[in-house]
Amino acid sequence: MTNDPTTDPFSAPFGSLFGDSMTVANLADGSYAYSGAAQAMESFSLHPATHALHYGSTCFEGLKAHRQADGSLAIFRLDDHVERMRQSIGRLRMPVPESDLIRTMIIDAVEANASFTPDAPGSLYIRPTLIGTAPNIGAAAAPSDQAILYVICSPVGDYFAGGVRPLTIYVETKVPRTTPQFGMVKSGANYAMALGPTLDAKRDHGADQVLFAQGDDITETGASNFFMADDDRLVTRHLDESFLHGVTRNSVIQLAADLGYEVEERPITVSELASWNGEVFLSGTAAVIAPVGTVVAGDARVTVGDGQPGANTLKIREALTTLLTGDAPDPYGWRTAVNG
Ligand SMILES: Cc1ncc(COP(=O)(O)O)c(C=O)c1O
């Protein structure tokens, strides 16, 4: 861990730098107790039988605060991330904190770490986390009745080493990203399940990400949502419980509609992707909008367009990034101003 303010977030790996403060609330007797202020960032001491370490009673969120054009600081779509965190906690069958508690803990953590926020295109990545801490290895079939809810912050540059560059994605049609009942949960177990296929695709196909398309049904990658675009249309998989409902996905759909694109939320097959005569990109808080230059599907290695970021992708990306940084108006109230 480093919180040396002189370390450059643009050259450090994403998520490897941290602010010096965090907020913490402890669950006991069914309710979460928060001291009401940020404290120094420090390690936890956990019992070796901690529930989360054995039975996966843990989930998290990922959102960002951006330095604004006028020098102020704003969190993007705070309430949407708070509600998704509550949904994840509920699906882990753990006591769900009030929205206001998570919201306040995030704002307090950001304000305490505000000085670590790099200028755009960098940002302060915010990681609210819940871990079940009941010291009980007999509780495999019971939720943890003790937990720590905490928020840490990480100054970040670009998610993908090399900045905005066209990615190579490998289409995985057999192995699922996660289980049906956990598709919408932002839990570590999902990422552990996607890791093997992603490493294999990197080794065998030089892929940056795996696009999961079990049974020919394209859903999302291990860490981002999936889009196809051309001059008129924006196409993405319709929502159901099988994948994470990205907040960026929702923002992209709204902004593209405002730009005049016809938005289609519907099933997408691998053959439609392989023959798509347009652009492909991924969306997520960490990756923002990442253009795809190559799709590897079965034996085929398909170059998307001319292999470079497409004009529509860059146009939609620009609409999003100017909104993140306060360079564009905020008609939907997506920015929450905080001190710092
Ligand atoms: C599996 C998965 N899908 C999609 C996303 C994109 O979601 P969001 O735009 O809310 O960051 C993420 C990143 O959080 C993710 O981990």
Q: For the segment 44-59, what is each residue's pLDDT rounded down to a tens digit?
A: 999 999 999 999 999 9
Whether residue 104 is contained in a domain is answered as: yes
pLDDT(164) > 90: no
Q: Is 30 exposed, middle or buried (0-12, 13-18, 19+ CB in 10 A)?
A: exposed
Query: Could you read off the pLDDT of 268-303 as tens digits, one per residue?
Result: 999 999 999 999 999 999 989 999 999 999 989 999
Q: What's the confidence (pLDDT) of residue 4?
A: 62
Q: In the chain, pLDDT over 70 holds for what percent of residues?
A: 97
pLDDT(18) > 90: yes
Q: For the domain that residue 300 is a member of, what is the CATH number?
A: 3.20.10.10
Identify whether residues 146 and 262 lie together within a single domain: no
Find the 181 Cα to ligand 1 centroid distance in Å.
Answer: 17
Mean pLDDT for the chain overall: 95
Whether residue 210 is contained in a domain is answered as: yes
Q: Comparing 69-83, 121-135, 161-175, 255-269, which segment has the lowest mean pLDDT?
A: 161-175
Do residues 65 and 120 touch, judged by C-beta distance below 8 A? Answer: no
Find the 63 Cα to ligand 1 centroid distance in Å.
Answer: 10
Average pLDDT over residues 104-118: 98
Q: For the domain that residue 62 is a member of, what is the CATH number?
A: 3.30.470.10
Identify whether residues 315 and 183 lie together within a single domain: yes
Cβ(284) to ligand 1 under 6 A?
yes
Domain hosting residue 43, numbered range: 21-156
Whether residue 143 is contained in a domain is answered as: yes
Find the 244 Cα to ligand 1 centroid distance in Å.
Answer: 6
Identify whether residues 92 and 119 lie together within a single domain: yes
Whether residue 161 is contained in a domain is answered as: no
Residue from 127, 248, 288 whose mutation best tests the ligand 1 pocket (most atoms within 8 A of CB): 248
Cβ(224) to ligand 1 under 6 A?
yes
DSSP 83-113: HHHHHHHHHTTSPPPPHHHHHHHHHHHHHHT
Q: What's the confidence (pLDDT) of residue 139?
A: 96
Residue 10 pLDDT level (bands cut at 50, 70, 90):
confident
Q: Whole-model pTM above 0.85?
A: yes
Residues 53, 35: Cα–Cα separation, whole Å: 25
Within 10 angstroms of residue 109's Cβ, the number of other Cβ atoms is 28
225 to each of 211, 309, 312, how far by Cα in Å? 9, 17, 17
Nearest CA to ligand 1 atom 16: 223
Find the 222 Cα to ligand 1 centroid distance in Å.
Answer: 8
Would you call 62 helix, strand, or coil by DSSP? coil
Picking from 258, 305, 254, the residue whose alpha carbon sits closest to that of residue 278 is 305
Cβ(244) to ligand 1 under 6 A?
yes
Residues 66, 71: Cα–Cα separation, whole Å: 10
Whether residue 331 is contained in a domain is answered as: no
- The total number of structural domains in the chain stands at 2
Cβ(225) to ligand 1 under 6 A?
yes
Under 8 Å CB-to-CB from 251, ≥6 apart: which residues?
Answer: 77, 320, 323, 334
DSSP alpha helix (H) spans, the chain: 51-55, 78-91, 99-112, 188-205, 247-258, 270-274, 311-324
Residues 318, 197: Cα–Cα separation, whole Å: 32
Identify whether residues 42 and 178 lie together within a single domain: no
Whether residue 8 is contained in a domain is answered as: no
Whether residue 15 is contained in a domain is answered as: no
Identify whether residues 152 and 222 lie together within a single domain: no
Identify whether residues 172 and 108 lie together within a single domain: no
Identify whether residues 174 and 146 lie together within a single domain: no
Residues 330, 327: Cα–Cα separation, whole Å: 9
Rg over alpha carbons for the chain, rounded to the nearest Å, is: 20
Identify whether residues 171 and 297 lie together within a single domain: yes
Q: What's the confidence (pLDDT) of residue 163?
A: 61
Nearest CA to ligand 1 atom 5: 224
Do residues 199 and 324 touch, judged by C-beta distance below 8 A? Answer: no
Identify whether residues 32 and 124 lie together within a single domain: yes
Which atom of ligand 1 is closest in space to residue 249's alpha carbon? 9
Which atom of ligand 1 is closest in space to residue 225's alpha carbon? 4
Q: What's the confidence (pLDDT) of residue 1?
A: 44
Q: What's the confidence (pLDDT) of residue 7?
A: 77
Residue 155 identity: P
Cβ(223) to ligand 1 under 6 A?
yes
Average pLDDT over residues 202-225: 97
Q: Comparing 1-15, 106-120, 146-160, 312-326, which segment has the lowest mean pLDDT?
A: 1-15
Cβ(292) to ligand 1 under 6 A?
no
Average pLDDT over residues 84-99: 97
Q: Comparing 10-14, 66-70, 90-94, 279-283, which segment has the lowest mean pLDDT?
A: 10-14
Identify whether residues 186 and 271 lie together within a single domain: yes
Residue found under tokens 């002189």? 6
Last residue of a domain, one of 156, 179, 208: 156
Q: What's the confidence (pLDDT) of residue 312?
A: 97
Identify whether residues 190 and 83 lie together within a single domain: no
Q: What's the confidence (pLDDT) of residue 162?
A: 61
Residue from 64, 169, 224 whose mutation best tests the ligand 1 pocket (most atoms within 8 A of CB): 224
Which atom of ligand 1 is closest in space to residue 177's alpha carbon? 1
Nearest CA to ligand 1 atom 1: 223
Q: What's the confidence (pLDDT) of residue 11?
A: 85
> H or E element: which one contains 33?
strand 31-34
240-268 burial by CB neighbour count: b if 16+ within 10 A, else e?
eebbbbbbbbbbbbbbbeeeebebeeeeb
Nearest CA to ligand 1 atom 4: 224
Identify whether residues 62 and 182 lie together within a single domain: no
Average pLDDT over residues 80-91: 98
Do residues 34 and 306 touch, judged by C-beta distance below 8 A? Answer: no
Residue from 285, 320, 323 whose mutation best tests the ligand 1 pocket (most atoms within 8 A of CB): 285
pLDDT(188) > 80: yes
